[in-house]
Amino acid sequence: DQQVKQNSPSLSVQEGRISILNCDYTNSMFDYFLWYKKYPAEGPTFLISISSIKDKNEDGRFTVFLNKSAKHLSLHIVPSQPGDSAVYFCAASPSNMRFGAGTRLTVKP
Amino acid sequence: NAGVTQTPKFQVLKTGQSMTLQCAQDMNHEYMSWYRQDPGMGLRLIHYSVGAGITDQGEVPNGYNVSRSTTEDFPLRLLSAAPSQTSVYFCASSSLPYREGTEAFFGQGTRLTVV
């Protein structure tokens, strides 16, 4: 029973354009959401988070949007850079993190 | 900064063998956890600990044991390895169970193959 779903296994965008990665969740008890980035042969690294009392959080080129009524969150990367090419995991938590399957982002020069 | 250190990085086991994956953190974090990553499945929680002497099961605990005798170390034991345990294993630590402002730090992973 996957409580956190990332339905797009891959996404390809042109350098300089916007990347939008999506995530859906089913458990209404989730109150804290995180995005992690993972390069090959490395552990995931924290990117940005948002609590359920907010609907938007920004950190530089990265913005996370939360729509609680739709149980949906998205990560926007503007502008996208080739170094952003990685697998992005969405995670949700009331206490322990539950992860989505990940989306592989490729940013083409 | 060492952060979270996992050993070994790679391991090949025969079915039925046992082994321990080591995880150590130097950030004085109370909360530690083990995940496995499989294609199309994301990261799934195996076991976690909220402090020395306290452990609990995650989503996929069968076939694994853990203990937490110190704040720094959280080893994961495979009792009798099975091919279904072929995976990449990640250890993570954080200062608290995940609340706003908390992030988990991950080790570099252990790639385990059971033949």
Contact A4 B42 (CB under 8 A): yes
Cα A37 versus chain centre, distance: 8
Summarize pLDDT for B67-109 with one digit per residue, the tens: 999 999 999 999 999 999 999 999 999 887 656 667 889 999 9
Read out DSSP for B8-74?
-SEEEE-TT--EEEEEEESS--SEEEEEEEETTTEEEEEEEEEETTEEEE-SS-TTEEE--SSSSB-
- Using left for φ > 0, alpha for ψ between -120 and 50, and beta otherwise, residue A94 falls in alpha
Reported confidence tier of residue A12, pLDDT bands at 50, 70, 90? very high
Summarize pLDDT for B7-65 with one digit per residue, the tens: 999 999 999 999 999 999 999 999 999 999 998 888 999 999 999 999 999 999 999 99
DSSP-derived 3-state class of residue A91: strand
pLDDT at A35: 96
Torsions phi, psi for A83 (to 5 deg): -70, -10
Round to the nearest angstrom and report the end-to-end CA distance of chain A.
Answer: 38
pLDDT at B42: 87
Summarize pLDDT for A22-40 with one digit per residue, the tens: 999 999 989 899 999 999 9
Contact B35 A99 (CB under 8 A): yes
Task: Using a CB–CB cutoff of 8 Å, tell me whether B14 touches chain A.
Answer: no
Q: Measured between alpha carbons, how far is A42 from B104 in angstroms, rounded to an integer? A: 14
Contact B41 A101 (CB under 8 A): yes
Task: Using a CB–CB cutoff of 8 Å, tell me whether A96 touches chain B.
Answer: yes
From chain B, pick out residues whose CB is under 8 angstroms from the CB of A46.
103-105
